[in-house]
Amino acid sequence: MNRTKLIKKIASQLNLNEIEVGNFIGSVFGTMADVLRKGKNINIPEFGKFIVREKKSEDASYRYITFSPSKKFADEINKNFSGLSPVLTKALNINDLSEIKIIEADFAYDDEEFISFVFDDTETELQLEVQTPEKESDIIFDEIKPVPEITEEIPLNVTEETIEDFHVPFLIPVMSPIVEVPKPVITRGPELKKVETAPTQNVFLEPEIAAAEVTEPEINEESVQTDLIITAADTKEEENEKDTEPVKTEETHETVAAPEEEIEKDTEPVKTEETHETETTTEVSHDKEKIEIIEESIISEKEIILKDIEDYIKSKKETEEKAGAEEEKPEEKTDYDTDNYFKKSNVYGVFDSDNNFAADEMQNSGFDSQNVFFEEDFPDVPEGYEFEKPAEEGPGQNVFEDMSDIFVSEQKITGEDITAFTDEDVKNDYVITRDAGLPVHEPSDKKGPSLKDISTELDVTKEILSILASREKAINELNKYGLILPAEPENPKEPEEPAQEIKETEISGVQDSKQEEGSSVQEIPEITFERKEFPEKEIPPEKTGRDYDELNKKLEELNELTAEKESLEEHIRGNVSPEMTVFEKLVEENPSPVTEKPMTVFPDIIIHDPGDEYEDKIPKSLNDALEDVKLDGIIEHLEHHDVIEEKSYDDVFKPADIPFVPVSNKEFEIKKQKKILKFLLYFFFVAVLSILSFFLYKSVLTPPKRLPVDTLGTRVNDSVAVKISPVDSSLKKGSINLNEFEVEKEGDIIYKQNDNGYIIQIAKFDKYSDALKYVTNLDNKNIHAEIERVDLPLNVTEYRIIVGTFETLQEAKSYFKTSGMMLNFIKVITPFKTALPF
């Protein structure tokens, strides 16, 4: 809620002008700020208190604000845990207090803006200051500090510099919220070339090609017989190929068309070639021939390696140059559009006619959710939805397309032909893209690096490594025969000679000689073999010499590059996740203190003496005290002090011998209930006792009622206004005795004098019945009294109670003192003009 919403709401609630309400609320907060600035506290009932406190440090003192919410409001906030209270879990036996040093208090807040809270039950400020519980003042709490949390946030905006270490693309879930995603920096590897780069194809003919090349020229027009023979041989070829395939890949192409029997007899066809060579050229020793052949193979391998190395270094340089160019122009560096990563347009999936993503339908169809979807994943497309083909410009530059590249390339790479995967193939394999009307990233001319490139790059490294392995094998063989590199450059063109000779030779007489040997057993039709020409390789003249030093240097470079590749490969395999690396970096940069010192080590405990300032912070309850502990940091953290002797937690705080049973909350509640019951019982007992005492008093102290004696017969003639006073019968009805006058007055008791002497007026009533009851009560107590009726002006009549006639005033007073105790009592319990029926 912001201010405008608050103003509008209040204005609508109270039906007031919004501007006026806005001004008012603005002035509320403004005035509050001004008041607090002046150092005055603010108390808002049912909300809380803003208290300005002063903090004194060594250099200066300054003020800070604390806010304590009202009890009701605090309870509302803590409603989820309102039923919980602190629980004693363990009794401690702290005998050796010397282990605990007490030093001066330091209430300095680490963070000035950090505010402490004191929950108080009262609303007035006065009571807040007065409350200082005695018991809790002795309490000093030591907090076992929990493991500090890593407060530093991992920056969301990961820059290119930080992310460069990963070289790993993120797998992003479909339809995630739009966030700023670090762009994966991927260096483009060497592009995989076609069959030319395959090492085996340069040295040896590929089996399929060799077969094709053999079969085509076998159609000989010279003789029908040979045709027939060839056809017969063709039928056997298929069978032979199966058996000879593994041999063909390792051996020379000459054995491709060799019949089965021949292979069985001559397991090493190389030897058969050499036998022909020896017949035509010179005689060389058996070992030398072998060495020459191996040398030939090594040289050819070297050429391939060198070529691969050159290609690789070229491509590496190109990538470096590209990377350098991209660094210079960071804006043009990548074609990834991070803003559009999560847009619908970049998500491959099924969409309906209204361009809604059919996620529910996909899940209902049992499809396991992936980031990229293909047509194969949706055997049954739900009704109303259709797949959309990608745009004509082919795969874009976003993550999803790259991921799909990987998926497709995986399928392709698993096959034999690595180079079969092209952009067009990928395009055809793509199933769904769409334009949802959202801004779509337009691919730029410069194509950014894609995951496909990395996968191909890895394949290149694999190939190179395999070449290196074969090279090592060949060198080992050379060493086996005593040939040490670098050897003397004797006849550099020597290895070419047997190859040229092989090209010219025709294996024609071999079969004849063998046939002669086995003619006695069975007849085999004549077969003529034409030797296929070996594809010529143009070896550069500078590399025909055994320039092993240069080669070795390049190989070292290659090894370095392969090491880099391996590291890259590890990243791509996902062994190291980017989040983990970020986390590890953070941990390295900011080692947590807890990890340095284990929690089991418990050095000297240092407790701060609260001092004078503690008065302001004396807690009102256990909860508050414990709360303050955390805020104020009463105990200085242990890690700032040198460890003299390592002590465990149990060494310092030994468990008490008496088993301690933790008190549960229920028992506390039961105790409370018992207290309330006790109080109710006591109250009930007191009430019953007071009622009983009242009735006892009434029954014992008060005499039984007696009927009044109507001596004058006035009861009968109550309505008749008569002179009833027996004191002076001469008085006329309704007249005032003028001779009677007041002598002395003591409160309501009036001493009067008339012609006969002195009389005492005890009381007066408006009603005659009340006066009569009063007189009868006096009679019961042996006090003789009379009623005197006096008619006053304005038709007011008084009935005065008069006692005696005394000769002197003193006599009247003495009489009143002796018997006046009872009169006074009656006077007390029967107020003036409201006589009670005694």
Q: Is 651 in the site for other proteins (CB under 8 A)?
A: no
Q: Is 21 in the site for other proteins (CB under 8 A)?
A: yes
- Position among 103, 108, 139, 821 found at the interface with other proteins (CB under 8 A): 139
Beta strands in 336-375 (DSSP E): 351-352
Residue 629 CB, shortest distance to other proteins, in Å, is 6
Q: Is 23 in the site for other proteins (CB under 8 A)?
A: yes
How far is residue 279 from each of residues 17, 275, 495, 515, 528, measured CA to CA in Å?
119, 6, 17, 19, 19
Question: Are the C-beta atoms of 68 and 117 separated by less than 8 Å?
Answer: yes
CB neighbour list of residue 769: distance below 8 Å, 6 or more residues apart: 718
Q: Which is nearer to other proteins, 148 or 591 (CB)?
A: 148
User: Footprint of other proteins on residues 235-254 (CB under 8 A)?
Assistant: none
- Position among 138, 222, 517, 549 found at the interface with other proteins (CB under 8 A): 138
- Position among 1, 126, 156, 644 found at the interface with other proteins (CB under 8 A): 1
Residue 107 CB, shortest distance to other proteins, in Å, is 17
In single-letter form, the type of residue at position 468 comes to L
- Position among 18, 76, 129, 425 found at the interface with other proteins (CB under 8 A): 76
Residue 605 CB, shortest distance to other proteins, in Å, is 9
Of 306, 298, 296, 300, the residue nearest 464 (C-alpha): 306
User: Footprint of other proteins on residues 339-378 (CB under 8 A)?
Assistant: none
Query: How, if at all, do strands 351-352 and 385-386 pair?
Result: antiparallel
Of 114-122, 157-165, 322-330, 807-815: span binding other proteins (CB under 8 A): 114-122
Q: Is 179 in the site for other proteins (CB under 8 A)?
A: no
- Position among 88, 644, 707, 716 found at the interface with other proteins (CB under 8 A): 88
Of 142-150, 254-262, 274-282, 389-397: span binding other proteins (CB under 8 A): 142-150
Q: Which is nearer to other proteins, 65 or 323 (CB)?
A: 65
Of 78-86, 324-332, 421-429, 515-523: span binding other proteins (CB under 8 A): 78-86
Query: Residue 432 and residue 387: Cα distance in Å, rounded?
Result: 5
Transcribe 35-72 into DSSP letters.
HHHTT--EEETTTEEEEEEEEE-SS-EEEEEEEEEBHH
Residue 57 CB, shortest distance to other proteins, in Å, is 12
Residues that bind other proteins (rule: CB under 8 A) add up to a total of 86
Residue 602 CB, shortest distance to other proteins, in Å, is 12
Query: Residue 264 and residue 277: Cα distance in Å, rounded?
Result: 22
- Beta partners for residue 392, in sequence order: none
Q: Is 126 in the site for other proteins (CB under 8 A)?
A: no
User: Footprint of other proteins on residues 24-53 (CB under 8 A)?
Assistant: 24-25, 27-33, 35-37, 40-48, 50, 52
Site string for other proteins, 417-436 (x = CB under 8 A): --------------------
Residue 180 CB, shortest distance to other proteins, in Å, is 24
**Cis bond upstream, residue 486 (ω within 30):** yes
Q: Is 676 in the site for other proteins (CB under 8 A)?
A: no
**Burial tier of 788 (Cβ tally within 10 Å: 0-12, 13-18, 19+):** buried
Of 119, 118, 116, 98, the residue nearest 107 (C-alpha): 116
Of 12-20, 334-342, 427-435, 510-518: span binding other proteins (CB under 8 A): 12-20
CB neighbour list of residue 107: distance below 8 Å, 6 or more residues apart: 55, 608, 610, 611, 613, 614, 617, 632
Q: Which is nearer to other proteins, 40 or 480 (CB)?
A: 40
- Position among 58, 59, 81, 383 found at the interface with other proteins (CB under 8 A): 81
Residue 52 CB, shortest distance to other proteins, in Å, is 7
Q: Which is nearer to other proteins, 67 or 407 (CB)?
A: 67
Query: Residue 274 and residue 283: Cα distance in Å, rounded?
Result: 10
Q: Is 86 in the site for other proteins (CB under 8 A)?
A: yes
For 703, phi then psi, to 5°, come to -70, 160
CB neighbour list of residue 285: distance below 8 Å, 6 or more residues apart: none
For 527, phi then psi, to 5°, come to -130, 130
Q: Is 825 in the site for other proteins (CB under 8 A)?
A: no
Question: Are the C-beta atoms of 620 and 131 separated by less than 8 Å?
Answer: yes
Of 62-70, 171-179, 376-384, 479-487: span binding other proteins (CB under 8 A): 62-70
Of 385, 402, 390, the residue nearest 440 (C-alpha): 390
- Position among 336, 351, 653, 768 found at the interface with other proteins (CB under 8 A): 653
Q: Which is nearer to other proteins, 34 or 564 (CB)?
A: 34
Q: Which long-range contacts link 593-600 to residues 24+ away (Cβ below 8 Å)?
A: 593/148, 593/639, 594/147, 594/148, 596/639, 597/638, 597/639, 599/147, 600/648, 600/649
In single-letter form, the type of residue at position 69 comes to P
Q: Assign 3-class secondary structure to 796-829.
A: EEEEEEEEEEECCHHHHHHHHHHHHHHHHHHHHH
Please report where in the chains the tokens 């270094």 appear, as a residue: 313
Q: Is 171 in the site for other proteins (CB under 8 A)?
A: no
Q: Is 224 in the site for other proteins (CB under 8 A)?
A: no
Question: Are the C-beta atoms of 85 and 668 separated by less than 8 Å?
Answer: yes
Q: Which is nearer to other proteins, 133 or 545 (CB)?
A: 133
Site string for other proteins, 654-673 (x = CB under 8 A): --x---x-------------
User: Footprint of other proteins on residues 89-108 (CB under 8 A)?
Assistant: 89-94
Of 22-30, 381-389, 436-444, 588-596: span binding other proteins (CB under 8 A): 22-30
